[in-house]
Amino acid sequence: MLMIEDIRFTKEHEWIIIKDGLAVIGISDFAQRELGDIVSIELPRVGSRFGYMQAMAIIDSVKTSSDIYSPLDGEVVEINEELLEHPEWINQSPYESGWIVKMKPSNMQAEEFNSLMTTEQYNKFIGEMKKEKE
Amino acid sequence: MKTPFYDIHKLFGAKMLSFYGWEMPLQYSGIVAEHINTRANVGLFDVSHMGRFEVKGSKAFDCLQTLVTNDISKLNDNQALYSPICHDNGGIIDDLIVYMINRQKFLVVVNASNREKDLEWIVKHSKSAVIENISDKTALLALQGPLAKKVLAKAVIGVNLDQLKPFDIAVTNIFGIECIISRTGYTGEDGFEIFFDSSEIDIWDKLMQVGSRFNIKPAGLGARDTLRLEAGLMLYGNDINENITPLEVPLKWTVKFDKKEFIGKEALLTQQINRKLVGFEILEKRIARHGNEVLMNGQKVGFVTSGSFSPTMKKSIGFCFVPMHVLPNQLIEISIGDKLYKAKVNSTRFYRRK
């Protein structure tokens, strides 16, 4: 069983934390700022399976709609249903009450998890994105 | 391109976007907060990206009367009206506001996206009226919301704002600086638009200062879009374009067939109308976007022209084209991504101020 407590990020701005063998997944603070006011979310069903970087949820902000990708191969075991009534929690608290799904990794090796970006790597990644924009 | 207020937007922490080549503020604190503050108090918008032309001389009236579908002969001095301008085939070139200072001097305000096209079109049909593009030497701010009048009363001396009715204009001073004020806007609220020399950017800060006790907040193009959508106002490029005529959208009232002539009259008189623009409310929690298909009984019957979240009603709303037989409250389906969502047909006007 994986026992990694720290956080990793995808290039699509999802975050993932492994806790008690489950992957908790949400979107980064940078992502929620870019999207602006989030007004609805479509969540996957508990029990559905997704492959690495397969679209599994959709977030609508006032300005745009975006897919949320699964950062790993696995099965959805819990969804944050409160977001259906309070999608703004993703803006207000992207790493805590704004979590989106919990997944059971089908076969996640530490290596695979570590291939995602650390906080430091992610900050550098978004720093470069911001520079490109300017 | 940048408006004179570009640095101020940055200073206010705006998230910027490129809008038809213009670096404009999308939002400052957030679209929903700015929208709600404009409905409850007052918002300050930089709309200097819009085109501004003067049309002057003894032929100015004839020139504009031939171009617009609406009737400017009904205007008194210092009044304005909204109108489309059309091609011979009735397709909408742009929608604009004509401000009549007097019979020899008009100001025309057009969409940022159509500045060059419109100028060319107006010059081509000038009938020897004098056309001057004053877009770059002037700035334009919109002060919108139920408390806009109270803010402006602190800034303008010598004009009784209560006597300035909707679409009235006053040539006056703001903080001692020459300006034109009109009681117009694009939000569905009471409000004003203020034209002045582009060097006078301090007017922004001064309005923010006198407005602070009325909770004035700057508002960006994001809120401008959701405000106009709730109010049922058309957005050129989204809801109307050169392939759409005023008779297919809720602009019939702007086409005055009793006018002797205007460009597009013949085509509009004989047009077979087989679609109409309506409002819709999606019954599930998804937002439709421009271009999404509209279906009835599994058949494609139209498309979405605008869609967004309504901060006032907290619902997913928008405009779409449907066949003529579709009635209010009827159910349609909107295709978003690879799914269909049920929606209810509504008037395009979702919001009416009290």
Domain residue extents for chain A:
7-133
Question: What is the C-alpha end-to-end distance of chain A, expressed in Å?
Answer: 43
A134: pLDDT confidence band, cut at 50, 70 and 90?
low
* pLDDT > 90 in chain B, percent: 98
The architecture in CATH of the region A7-133 reads Beta Barrel (2.40)
pLDDT above 80 for A109: no
In chain B, positions 317-336, which contact chain A (CB-CB < 8 Å)? 336
| pLDDT value of position A111 | 67
CA distance A88 to chain B (A): 11
Of A36, A39, A58, the CB nearest to B337: A58
CA distance A37 to chain B (A): 7
Q: Does B285 touch chain A (CB under 8 A)?
A: yes
pLDDT above 60 for B127: yes
ipTM for the whole complex: 0.86
Nearest-CA neighbor of A88 among A127, A30, A32?
A: A32
Size (chain B), residues: 354
| pLDDT value of position B62 | 96
Query: For an interface test with A, which of B29, B32, B36 has the most A Cβ atoms less than 10 Å from its Cβ?
Result: B32
Residue pLDDT, tens place only, B129-161: 999 999 999 999 999 999 999 999 999 988 899
pLDDT above 70 for A108: no
| pLDDT value of position A1 | 40
Mean per-residue pLDDT for A64-72? 94
Contact A42 B336 (CB under 8 A): no
Residue with tokens 């922004």: B204
Residues B150, B214: contact at Cβ < 8 Å? yes
pLDDT above 70 for B235: yes
| pLDDT value of position A110 | 64
Of B31, B222, B285, the CB nearest to A40: B285
Lookup: tokens for A1: 């069983």
What pTM, to 2 d.p., does this model score?
A: 0.93
B13 burial level (CB within 10 Å; 0-12, 13-18, 19+): exposed
pLDDT above 80 for A4: no
Q: Does B304 touch chain A (CB under 8 A)?
A: no
Q: What domains, with CATH codes, occur in chain B?
A: 6-50+136-230 (3.30.1360.120), 52-133 (3.30.70.1400)
Lookup: tokens for B280: 């819709």
Contact B222 A36 (CB under 8 A): yes
Residue pLDDT, tens place only, B94-124: 999 999 999 999 999 999 999 999 999 999 9
| pLDDT value of position B212 | 98
B213: pLDDT confidence band, cut at 50, 70 and 90?
very high
Residue pLDDT, tens place only, B264-304: 999 999 999 999 999 999 999 899 999 999 999 999 999 99
CA distance A97 to chain B (A): 20
| pLDDT value of position A130 | 81
Q: Does B222 touch chain A (CB under 8 A)?
A: yes
Nearest-CA neighbor of A72 among A116, A13, A121, A39?
A: A116
Lookup: tokens for B33: 């907060």
Contact A36 B309 (CB under 8 A): no
Mean per-residue pLDDT for B165-193? 97
Residue pLDDT, tens place only, B79-95: 999 999 999 999 999 99
Contact B286 A62 (CB under 8 A): no
Contact A84 B285 (CB under 8 A): yes
Neighbours of A58 (CB within 10 A): 19
Query: What mean pLDDT value characterizes chain B?
Result: 97
